[in-house]
Structure 1
Amino acid sequence: MTERTIGKQPRQLYLLFFAEMWERFSFYGMKALLIAYMVTELKFDEPKSYGILGAYSALVYTMPMLGGMLADRFLGYRRAVIYGGILMTIGHLVLALPQEWSFFYGMAFIICGNGFFKPNISSLVGTLYEENDPRRDSGFSLFYMGINIGAALGGLLCGYVGQRINWHYGFGLAGIFMVLGLIVFAIGQKSLGHRGLPPNLTALKKRTAGITNEQLIYVASLLIIPVVVALFNRHEIMDYFMAVLGAVAITYVLWEAFRMEAAARNKLIAALFMIVFSILFWAFYEQNAGSLNLFAMRNVDMHVMGTELPALSVNNFLPPGWVVIMSFFFAWLWTWLAKRKMEPATPVKFGFAFVLMAIGFLVFYLACLNAESGLISLFAFAMGYMFIIAGELCLSPIGLSMVTKLSPVRMVAVMMGIWFFASAGGEFLAGKIGKMMSVPEAVQNNAVASLPYYATILKEIAIASAIAGALILLLSPLVKKWMGEVK
């Protein structure tokens, strides 16, 4: 029996599209507020704020490694998604409480919930396609568009409510939409059929000391929350934490790879190559959630036709907004090129991603050179983001697809977790880069004086991104060879 499709894509893609869209509304809506909330409301100094933001962002993308592994071996994708959604809902609602303790605890719940939700809903998308299905990359591009519709709306609305009305109302709005995403998935999951069910129900229900393995997973994940809060209060030790986890992740992948026959081993090494390079991409890209938030507030002219737009809303709307606009083009482009046997290999797409990002940051830097008033134009700010997001579309949805294509079936979710851990490493490095752009309190309200703190680092990011892109393109024939028959 032929499976029903909508617009040539499996109909279940649209269930996952909407569930992820509303979850990303909540996630990015909350994230849009963090750095500004810490600096303006909690009165943390900028280096401390960047350190906490880096720790949060790193942990929120580290937990998917654990969540992916537990889903692969015990829970299955669907139970992991629902449990993760419940934890994230609790986290958003805790953040909405105007209490001193709620900030770190709310973020800790979101971190643990995201670990279960994020890798497993992406892995579910991969189950919709057979091996070498030409619709896979375009399907992931459409799924990625759903992520960014949610992110655009969340950044716009939560950013406005938080900055202009009340910070905690902004956090609460994010929680409402997290509930909506959870409801969409819970109601529609039956359409997935056998996909995402527990791989071994007997192992999941096995009891030890009167408690099933499933219950043990839930209890253990809750015990992680106070540990995460402790890490926030000692965020300096994240340097060692990330280094150890990174070494463990790479060692694990290589250990698994060298237990396989040559073709499978080479595919896994190809995936690892692109995952490692993605760390640098996210370190540059994630300035949008940190330093570029404050840059937008201080050094971008937000006036349009005599009206001053809220900087947080604009900065957090532009990246996902551009993704939504350009996703249709890229989804069409990859399919059009594939039909003509002209589609670039995945590593070539990764190289293009860095080159486009370099152009985007160069636009920011050139705008700074011409900002005599200390304010760059909103047009230049938007154009810089356009190139950066074109780069993102050559890497992020392609990376999601790449992981599902190159990983052995038994390792898909854990490799998806490692893909997100690379994002964690990038987010952590993004906090380090953001610290380099910290503006002394004495000149934070002086646009001319604050601009040079940003301009120099923006130029250096452009140069580093261009070098990385050139290196990846140079090595792409070798990586393509490792990929074997995978297209």
Structure 2
Amino acid sequence: MSATLPEASSKELFGHPKGLLYLFFAELWERFSFYGMRALLVLYMTKHLLFDDDMAFGVYAAYMSLVYVTPMIGGILADKLLGFRKAIILGGILMSLGHFFLTIEQPVFFYGSLALIIVGNGFFKPNISSFVGDLYAQGDARRDSGFTIFYLGINLGAAIAPLACAWFAITYGWHYGFVLAGFGMLLGLFVFHRGLKTSVFGDKGLVPNVKLYESKKFGLAKGTLTIIGAFLAVPIFALIVRYNEFEHYLVWIVSAFLVAYLIYIIKSVSVKEKKRLLVAVYFTILYTLFAAIFEQAGSSLTLFADRNVNLVGMDAAGTNSINAGFIILFAIPFSMLWTFLSKRKSNPNSAIKFGLGLLFLGLGFIVFALSAHSVDETARTAMSYLVIGYMVLTLGELFLSPIGLSKMTELSPIKYVSFIMGVWFSANFYGHFFAGKIAKLTAVSNGEPTIFSEGFFGSIVTAITGLTPEIASGKSEAFQQLFSYVSVYASFGVISVIVGIFAIVISPIIKKMMEGVH
């Protein structure tokens, strides 16, 4: 890898700051580790640990939601104490340990490993994204393009990992898949460290206040205490994952903290910054809905592919790479599109892009639901629906997710940028929490009526899938399971489309509140 990275002889590469290249590759390998493990996790729990669907979905949802709540804490600690560089290194070390400890098949190591990744991601994820934003000046027209390129790095890792880690897991055993993910994280750390050694980041990402960092408490420097505190937090998060049925209490605690800290920020900033901050919160709410629906990918959609799709050329874990594969295909054209439209002063504002993102997400899930029309006698549907559905929702993701990353760095007050980036990632915390609830709705396999098979939603499900509870209940258990999946996908697909259209309609109001941010 080091041979492929250029020497730091100039400030820019391909029209972007050279530091973007190093952050791109560091994020690529970190995401390789994260998505490689994620693709295996639900299948590992249901097939190897023999958890039932409810337990597996509960653990998965708790793990994935907590992975995105810790960035708020990691963002604050980076803003106030650590700086981007030290936070990213600390996070990478914790995540590496988590992946390798998954190879030890004991409950304490299973839940402890997930907790190590949760804490590590809190330091790594918001700060590497904020670091990208720090490479560009306020108002730099290259910012959206730069974040879309960065997003490509995320998804190169996410595309390769499920296929590679799944192959290792199937060929050599589950634990080898987790080991490969761990090596991916170490490679990401190596690339980032080389960027530091070659000084491509200049004076960016350093400790914000050296005196505060080195000041002592209990005989230790506050920077050292932060590292110790990170490791001490691991057993707490492990217990939350294990007893995930009580996670809703954490949701209330996080919500209270978020609201309180946002009120504190609002009171300390200008009127212009207040308006922008409210838009950041609005975008985060939209992203929460997006994540709750989209993140069926790692849970119910993986089991849907395993149980009810005629897969060709890959296994169920490998289907996690389809979305990332389409992002690789579309990311550069989208990046070029935003730059081209900006030059022609025709680039849609971010509020419209968010609406389009939700619209395409909903259409993608409607395509999944339409697969019921191709069902065979074994209750399996054509893989083409799975692929096309992923393609459509990927378009939605490219309208929303990388643009959201970019806008958070512009809409937030400068001294709170890492915390607001953490707020953005909190959408994934809430999204995964609710995604777990949605996934559990698909666990119904006896054909009994649910909220999505009766009344208004029942009519929608019948119109889209051609199925009713009566038809499903008269067939095999596999067919009933299929109905559970497609009824939920059809209903939430329509909900997403409606919200997307509403967001587009009110976009002029949101644009005005953004105070010049596009």
Which TM-score bucket, shorter chain as reference?
A: over 0.9
Provide the C-alpha distance between the structure 2 equivalents of 1:241 and 1:438, rounded to a whole number of angstroms. 24
- Identical counterparts, % of pairs: 40
1:434 pairs with 2:443 = no
Query: CA shift at 1:358, angstroms?
Result: 1.1
Residue of structure 1 in register with 2:158 after alignment: 151
In structure 1, the residue matched to 2:508 is 477
- 1:435-450 alignment to 2 at 5 Å? 435-440=440-445, 447-450=478-481
Q: Distance in 2 between matches of 1:161 and 1:287?
A: 24
Partner of 2:174: 167
Moved more, 156-165 or 26-35: 156-165
Q: Deviations over 1:179-206 (max 9, x none)?
A: 1110110111221110000110010000
Q: Counterpart of 1:311 in 2: which secondary structure?
A: coil
Q: Which amino acid aligns with 1:272?
A: V
1:116 corresponds to 2:123: yes
Paired position in structure 2 for 1:48: 55
CA distance in 1 between counterparts of 2:184 and 2:328 reads 19
The one of 414, 422, 429 equivalent to 1:424 is 429
Q: Deviations over 1:419-465 (max 9, x none)?
A: 11111110111111000001559999954332111010011111110
| Corresponding residue for residue 146 of structure 2 | 139
Aligned residues of 2:39 and 2:318 also touching (Cα < 8 A)? no
Gaps of 5+ in 2: 1-8, 448-473
Number of the residue aligned with 1:341: 345
Q: Show the 5 A alignment for 1:260-271.
A: 260-271=269-280
Higher relative contact order (CA 8 A, sep 6+): 1
Q: 1:71 is matched with which residue?
A: 78
> What residue in structure 2 maps to residue 391 of structure 1?
396
8 Å Cα contact 1:160-1:310 kept in structure 2? no
SS in 2 for 1:227: helix
Contact 1:298/1:444 (<8 A) preserved: no
The number of equivalent residue pairs is 481
Q: For residues 277-309 of structure 1, give each alpha carbon's deviation from its aligned partner in whole angstroms, at most 9, with x where no partner exists.
A: 110100000000000000010111113xxxxx3
Q: Aligned Cα RMSD in Å?
A: 1.8
What is the match of residue 235 of structure 2? 226
Q: Which of 400, 403, 406 is the equivalent residue of 1:401?
A: 406
Q: With structure 2 as the length reference, what TM-score do the two structures score?
A: 0.90
- Residue 284 of structure 1 aligns to which amino acid in structure 2? I
8 Å CA contact 1:283–1:430 kept in 2: the answer is: yes
- 1:44 is displaced (CA, Å) by 1.1
CA distance in 2 between partners of 1:152 and 1:402 (Å): 25
- Contact 2:445–2:480 under 8 Å retained in 1: no
Q: Contact between 1:46 and 1:439, CA under 8 Å: does it hold in 2? A: no
The answer as to whether partners of 1:157 and 1:313 remain within 8 angstroms in 2 is no
TM-score between the two structures when normalised by the length of structure 1: 0.96
Q: Is the 8 A contact 2:446 2:477 kept in 1?
A: no
* Residue aligned with 2:443, SS: coil
The within-5 A match list for 1:47-446 is: 47-189=54-196, 190-303=199-312, 309-373=313-377, 374-440=379-445
**DSSP-derived class of the 1:134 partner:** coil
Detail structure 1 runs of 4+ shifted over 4 Å in the superposition: 439-446
**What is the aligned partner in structure 1 of residue 38 from structure 2?**
31
Moved more, 199-208 or 473-482: 473-482
Structure 1 residues 8 and 429 mapped into 2: Cα distance closer, same or farther (>3 Å)? same
Segments of 5+ residues of structure 1 without an aligned counterpart are 304-308
Aligned-partner residue type, residue 317 of structure 1 = S
Bigger mean CA offset, 248-257 vs 343-352? 248-257
Distance change in 2, residues 1:4/1:339 (3 Å): same
CA deviation profile, 1:128-152 (whole Å, cap 9, x unmatched): 1111111000100000000000011
Q: Deviations over 1:221-270 (max 9, x none)?
A: 11111111111221111112112212321332233123322111101111
